[in-house]
Structures are given as C-alpha cells and as structure tokens.
Amino acid sequence: MPDTAQLLFGADAQGQPIGQDLRLANRHGLVAGATGTGKTVTLQRLAEAFSDAGVAVFAADIKGDLCGLGAAGNPQGKIAERIAGMPWLNYAPRAYPVTLWDIHGQSGHPLRTTISEMGPLLLGSLLELSDSQQSALYAAFKVADREGLLLLDLKDLKALLNYLRENPQALGDDSALMTTGSSQALLRRLSSLEQQGAEALFGEPALQLEDILQPTADGRGRIHLLDASRLVHEAPKVYATFLLWLLAELFEQLPERGDADKPLLALFFDEAHLLFAGTPKALQDRLEQVVRLIRSKGVGVYFVTQSPADLPDDVLAQLGLRIQHGLRAFTAKEQKSLKAVADGFRPNPAFSALQVLTELGIGEALVGTLQDKGTPAMVQRVLIAPPQSRIGPLTEAERAALIATSPLAGRYDKPIDRESAYEMLLARKAPAAAADPAPAGESFSDKAGEFLSGAAGQALKSAMRQAANQFGRQLVRGVLGSLLGGTKKR
C-alpha cells in the first residue's frame, strides 16, 4: 500500500506506484508532450490526486473536456485493463467537487478582477503598449491613487484618460508623459480590447481568493476550472494576463507557510507558452521571480505545454516534477530539441531516455520526480493511472446542474456597478455642464443630474465617496504591477 502522503499518478513497468511526496509538490512541475499523447488525462489524474489530498486546484479547461472531473468515470476496454494492473489504485468511479468559471459568465460563474487589481504593468502587457504609452498609463494610475479614483472596469479607465486629456494639469510633474498621441493610443487599445469581449473580465464582484481555497465538507480540495475553450483562441492575451494576475495576487496575499506537509493550492497553466510569448522583458523577469518564491506560500505551479522549450530556462530550472509524454522528431531541429528534453532527466541505466521518448504510447510518459531531500530521482517510464472521473466533457445539462448547485451560486453571477472613477468624474463635470449646457442629445450631463438628484442620493454619494477615497489610497496593484511603481500600498 503506497504512502498516503504521496501524489500518486502512475506505475512503472513492474506495476509499482510512482508518485511525488506531497510535501515536495510545491516545487512546481511540467506536463509536456505532442498533441494526442495524453496530457489532458494526466492533468485530470493529477487534479484528482490533489483534491483527494485536500489541496485546492485551479486549472484552465482548454479543450472543454477537463470538466469531466465533475462526473463519475465508466472505464471500459484498455482503460479497464490498465486499472486492473494497478491494484494499489483502489479505483472507485466518482465525481469530484468542481466549480466552473467563465470570463463571459456563459458556461460558469463570471470571473472578474478590477483594473486597479490588475495594475499598470500587467494591463500594459495586455494592451501591448509601447514604452511611452506604458509611461502614460503609469501616470494615469498615479493620478487615480492621488485623487482616490477607483478603477474597477474599462469605462473607469477610459473616463480617467479622457479627463486627463481635458485637464492635463491634474498630472502634475507627469504632464509630459500624457501626450495627445499617447492618450489617444491608449483609448484605441482599450476599444480594441472591448471588441475582443475583454470588458467582461473587469468589474465587480471580483474573484476572492478565499473562495478557491475553501475545501469541501468531506475535506477534499475543490477543483476550479476556467472554461478557456474560446478564450485561448479568440483572446489568448487576455487568457495569459488573467493567469499572471492570479499568480501575482496569490503571491501578494498568501502568508508564508514554510515547509508544510502539502501545498495549499495547485495551479495548472495549460498552453503555457502563451504566458511567455511576446511578454515584455520586465514582466518575464518578475514572473520568473514569483515562480521561484511562491512555493513558500504553499502554491505549486504546473505548466502544461507541448515542449519544454516553450518555457524559459530559468523557469524550467525550478520545476521539480516532470512528466514528459511522447514527442516526434522528423527534422534536425526537432531531433536536437528531443535530445535536450532527454538530457533534462537524471539518467536511468535501465534504458535510454532519448530512445524511449519516441516510443511512448498514449498514456505513457517519462517521469522525473524529486527524492526526499529534493534532489532529482532517476527517470522512470510510467503508465499514467486512469482518472476516477469521466474522460470526456460534461453534457450541457450536467454543466448547468453543477453551476446551479455550486456553493458560490449567486455570489458572482450578478454584476455590481458601484461608484468609481466614471461616476466621480461624471459628477465633477456636472457643475460645468450646468453652467454651459451641452448640445441637445448629449447624455453626459443628463446622467450626472440624474445621479446627483435627491437628498438621499447626495447622502449616499457622499458616504460612498469617502469609502472610495480611503480605498483609493490603498489601491491593490499586485506584486507584478509594483515592479515600476514602488511597493504595494496598504
């Protein structure tokens, strides 16, 4: 019987279980391999093992079939044969506690953050800004901090940029950074982002980290799945930026845990190459630093991609668990890459890792784990254990039932639009609009008058403004957003 303190995911040629000590599972990992070699099923098996150990999981469902975790499996054929060869598995088909998320709120709970929490560095990467445009964005955020203007959604940021274009004196010493060209370019980039449907990502209620860390009543870790089947193809930059934000927020908010017996959370970043493709050097450097340090917060980061070459060398060097499915090498370049993958494992005298890489069947992998002292163990050829949940997607009815019965049902589903920069700047413009009436058909001052009408409305606005000002002085930037903007404010 295997040690219950292990993350078990397969068996060697003799049928003996292969796994990694849970206390080392915060040393991160890699699941790689060509298309169709079994990476998704391996990811599913790992998610189950973490959940059974009481570790929360957050993963992107790229192909739409990882959500099968929410239904019991029905093994047949070769899958049933493999299960029979792993008696230690104690296989029992069952569903896992899954929470479904979707940035657009169509196939899961809406997943949001705020402009303020995203911060100027990540937002600049999302918008693919030039250096001068990035500087202008930082200047705008400084004004928001100084004047207590909450930036919650895209209309808040657009209102702030328009305000600064009309009132450049508000920038103070940074007025030279906000040229007409840079402000117009920023507004164009924001409009382009809206056309991709990315405005749904920003707003409230924003994701609360404690909601993804909360275990189930039976002690299992809850598995949170982001439906990225459309997102990764239609807006890959939005997908990558959200994952980077989540990593940064976890690093910033979670306390140090030291050497714990298991991680608090396992993050799976599928299509991991998107996190690094076209990423500014400053952001990539900070990302590598966060990956190195976040393990002390009890977070294990697992990258899922086709080839280890998709990740920077500094990130690869930090990965303790490596699960490498089959690769194909037809060209000289591919053969060179294949050798580099094989050389990344500690050799096993029983076989040639280079040769085995091209022989691996579906559901087989070369696996490198860590030994007790954190040093690499010899590479093993491993049959991945079948998941106990369903291999394949949920039906629409099953997905709808999961959403309806979720412990978070109703908490995120209805958007909240409280007073923030847009309304506050609207109110500032109202007196000027009253003195100089806007042309017929212009709705700006009409909205302001409607918002400010009535004594009760005035009292409410005053109270909310005080709260907003206090919060504005403490805007959350996240560790990535603080790279060029000083330390995070409290």
Give one DSSP letter per residue of 277-294, joined into a string: TT--HHHHHHHHHHHHHG
- Least trusted range by pLDDT, from 159-163, 326-330, 377-381: 326-330
Options 3.40.50.2300, 1.10.3720.10, 3.40.50.300, 3.30.420.300; CATH for 6-111+204-404 is 3.40.50.300
Report the distance separating Cα 342 and Cα 391, nearest Å. Answer: 29
Q: What is the mean pLDDT of residues 416-442?
A: 75
Q: Indicate whether 446 pLDDT > 80.
A: no
Q: What is the mean pLDDT of residues 290-314?
A: 93
CA distances from 46 to 19, 162, 395 (A): 10, 48, 23
The pLDDT value given to residue 433: 59
Residue 437 pLDDT grade (very low, low, confident, very high; cuts 50, 70, 90): low
The pLDDT value given to residue 372: 85
Report the distance separating Cα 88 and Cα 270, nearest Å. Answer: 29
Higher pLDDT, 470 or 276: 276
Residue 20 pLDDT grade (very low, low, confident, very high; cuts 50, 70, 90): very high
Radius of gyration of the chain (CA): 25
Q: Could you give the dihedral angle defined by the CA atoms of residues 457, 459, 460 and 464, in that order, rounded to the nearest 10 degrees?
A: 130
Q: Indicate whether 418 pLDDT > 50.
A: yes
Residue 487 pLDDT grade (very low, low, confident, very high; cuts 50, 70, 90): very low
pLDDT digits (tens, 9 = 90+) for 40-78: 999 999 999 999 999 999 999 999 999 999 999 999 999
Q: What is the mean pLDDT of residues 176-205?
A: 91
Residue 432 pLDDT grade (very low, low, confident, very high; cuts 50, 70, 90): low
Half-sphere exposure of 441 (CA within 13 A, CB side): 0
The CA-CA-CA angle for residues 12, 313, 25, to 5°, reads 45
Crossing angle between the packed helical segments 444-452 and 455-472, to the nearest 10 degrees: 100
The pLDDT value given to residue 111: 95
The CA-CA-CA angle for residues 56, 60, 61, to 5°, reads 115
Residue 388 pLDDT grade (very low, low, confident, very high; cuts 50, 70, 90): very high
Residue spans of the domains in the chain: they are 6-111+204-404, 115-202+418-481
Q: With b meaning 16 or more CB within 10 Å and e meaning fewer, what string describes 55-88?
A: bbbbbbbbebbbbbbbbebebeeebeebbeebee
Q: Where are the alpha helices (DSSP H) in 374-477?
A: 396-404, 421-435, 444-452, 455-472
Q: Indicate whether 444 pLDDT > 50.
A: no
Q: Where are the alpha helices (DSSP H) in 154-308?
A: 154-166, 180-195, 209-213, 231-234, 236-253, 281-293
CA distances from 462 to 194, 199, 269 (A): 31, 28, 43
For 398, counting Cβ atoms within 10 Å of its Cβ (0-12 exposed, 13-18 middle, 19+ buried), the class is middle
Instruction: List the beta bridge partners of residue 56.
Output: 265
**Is 3 in a helix, a strand, or coil?**
coil
Q: Which helix (H) or strand (E) holds 223?
A: strand 223-227
Closest by alpha carbon to 118, among 477, 421, 488, 435?
A: 477
Q: Which helix (H) or strand (E) holds 372?
A: none
Cβ(154)–Cβ(92) below 8 Å: no
Cβ(245)–Cβ(122) below 8 Å: yes
Report the distance separating Cα 211 and Cα 408, nearest Å. Answer: 8
Summary mean pLDDT of the chain: 86
Q: Indicate whether 258 pLDDT > 90.
A: no
Report the distance separating Cα 364 and Cα 326, nearest Å. Answer: 8
The dihedral built from the CA positions of residue 115, 121, 126 and 127, taken in this order, carries a sign that is positive
CA distances from 95 to 76, 384, 394, 398, 404 (A): 17, 19, 11, 12, 16
For 272, counting Cβ atoms within 10 Å of its Cβ (0-12 exposed, 13-18 middle, 19+ buried), the class is buried
Residue 214 pLDDT grade (very low, low, confident, very high; cuts 50, 70, 90): very high
Residue 297 pLDDT grade (very low, low, confident, very high; cuts 50, 70, 90): very high
- Least trusted range by pLDDT, from 81-85, 104-108, 160-164, 485-489: 485-489
Tokens describing residue 378: 């010899």
